[in-house]
Amino acid sequence: MSETPLSPAFRAKTVLSHLRETMSAQVSTVESVRVEHSHGEALDAACLPVAVVFAESTADVSTVLRLCHEHRVPVVAFGAGTSVEGHVTPPEHGISLDLSRMKEIVQFNAEDLDCRVQAGLTRQELNLRIRDSGLFFPVDPGGEATLGGMCATRASGTAAVKYGTMKENVLGLTVVLATGEVIRTGGRVRKSSTGYDLTSLFVGSEGTLGIITEIQLRLYGLPEAIAAAVCQFETVDDAVRTAVELIQYGIPVARVELADEVQMAACIAYSHLDELRPLPTLFFEFSGGPAAVREQVEATEGIARENRGLGFTWADTPEERSRLWKARHNAYWAARAIDHTALVISTDCIVPISRLAELIDGVRQDVAVSGLRAAMVGHVGDGNFHTLILTDPTPEGRRRLLDLDRQIVGRALALGGSCSGEHGVGIGKQEFLEAEHGAGALSVMRALKQTMDPHDILNPRKLLPPGEVYRG
């Protein structure tokens, strides 16, 4: 395309010229930096941004968005690049706005169990800095994700069964709108009956309505006692039934995670869990006062025993607990290690827990019919699980993989579930949005997007599939 004054390439160069004048030390056009920001994880879509801008403050983000809005240049926020549905892949002639240098704890309110942090701080960094206070932030997606990215994708993880997701743990935000205007939503109070809930609007919006630069977070006291264990089963059905009954009986387990026999074989090899066998396995964590933990453990052991559990293996030290949970968090890399030449994707769906056993049984049948290799792992305490599918890295292999993925999502939707419990939509899940939400709801979402970002510069062509805009 020729670079006329109206062409995307010309407009991007104009913005880049202005940014070099005002933020020169924070702007990079080095190819290796652009390549690093051209994609996230686990999805092969990639596109080089025109430039990468490293924001160091809300004011920097405002400057970039004001220029991009004026010149109609797309901009995509980038944190740690750990998203798996193409969220951070920039469009052609776009700017990648990296917030990873924004790592400050702006406020820390130990008495009120909350803090305000910049978007580039990770959960691990936050907990390391506040550990001497006796408080911690519990949402644990496993990877080195930034808190801003976790907020944008409404992340959850292994601890969601007890502490909830980002949705339940964000009290307020600082957001830069498409025009560069800065707003604050929510606050520090635990409830409010005033105005629209703008905080919830931006949590999970995947950078399409505004860019989050600060987050007000709930904090929790470190548990007095923690116990972790694994229990193995002869069948996946027995393991799933145990997890579902735990939740239905109201036992306040902190974490309960499932790995099937394929995943366990991979984890044993990858993380050296030589004390375990390649059988369907539940990972548990219990926390609270010593007496409460004992009660949780006894109740859980009883349920597992009734479902033919093969006995508990205990992790009695912090180091051993960390080793077990690191093995669980490394499940994706363990599955990839099954065959280093294979293409691997991690599906993500969720159903009401009463339908979980039905879904998993159906998915296992689909995998068997497909002839593909697959491992299963999930946060079964809240009905969410992932199937890690391996296939040949060929067009035919990719087609078969995506066909199986669609079958799995279709089953979840038919059971009253969602196409994503934690990965988000990005590019990869757009085709399922109308089936899940309905055309009317999607048209309202598109109207919100058009109102708040009329030039479609904020992470364009993500989250919402194309379609009609609701006009009243």
Question: Pairing mode, if any, of strands 95-98 and 75-78?
Answer: parallel
What is the mean predicted confidence (pLDDT) over 20-45? 91
Distance CA 334, CA 83 (A): 18
Residue 114 lies in a domain: yes
Q: CA-CA distance, 115 to 42, in Å (whole number)?
A: 32
User: Is the pLDDT reported for residue 6 higher than 90?
Assistant: no
259 and 193 within one domain: no
Q: How much is the pLDDT for 45?
A: 77
Average pLDDT over residues 5-25: 93
Mean of pLDDT over the chain:
94
**Is residue 345 domain-shared with residue 430, that is, in the same domain?**
yes
Are 216 and 109 in the same domain?
yes
- In this prediction, what percent of the chain has a pLDDT beyond 70? 99
Share of residues in the chain with pLDDT > 90 (%): 86
Cα separation, 363 vs 96, whole angstroms: 37
**pLDDT of the residue at 2:** 58
Does residue 144 lie within any of the structural domains? yes
What is the number of H-type helices and E-type strands within the chain? 17, 19
Give me the number of domains the chain comprises.
4
pLDDT reading at 96 higher than 80: yes
pLDDT-derived band at 41 (thresholds 50, 70, 90) equals: confident
Examine the domain organization and report whether 227 and 317 are in the same domain.
Answer: yes
**pLDDT, tens digit, for every residue of 356-405?**
999 999 999 999 999 999 999 988 889 998 999 999 999 999 999 999 99
**For 331-354, what is the mean pLDDT?**
92
57 is in which domain, residue-wise? Answer: 8-98
**Boundary-marking domain end, from 337, 353, 379:** 337
Is the pLDDT confidence value at 28 over 90?
yes
345 shares its domain with 414:
yes
In our burial notation (b when 16+ CB lie closer than 10 A, e otherwise), range 359-380 reads: bbebbbebbeebebbbbbbbbb
Mean pLDDT of the 144-155 span? 95
> Parallel, antiparallel, or unpaired: how do β-strands 114-118 and 211-218 relate?
antiparallel
> In one letter, which amino acid is 296?
Q
The answer to whether residue 443 sits within a structural domain is: no
Please tell me the predicted confidence (pLDDT) of residue 470: 77
Do 145 and 76 belong to one domain?
no
Domain-embedded: residue 402 = yes
The pLDDT of residue 43 is above 60: no
Residue in the structure block whose two tokens are 């968090």: 329
Give the residue from 337, 361, 379 where a domain finishes.
337
Q: What is the pLDDT of residue 120?
A: 98
Asked whether residue 448 is domain-assigned, the answer is no
What was the pLDDT predicted at 51? 98
Is 215 found in the same domain as 109?
Answer: yes
- What's 34's domain CATH number? 3.30.43.10
Contacts of 414 (CB under 8 A, 6+ apart): none
Residue 174 above 90 pLDDT? yes
Hey, what amino acid is at 265? A
Give the domain-ending residue among 291, 314, 337: 337
State whether 89 and 116 are in the same domain.
no
CB atoms < 10 A from the CB of 435, how many? 13
pLDDT in tens, 189-231: 888 899 999 999 999 999 999 999 999 999 999 999 999 999 9
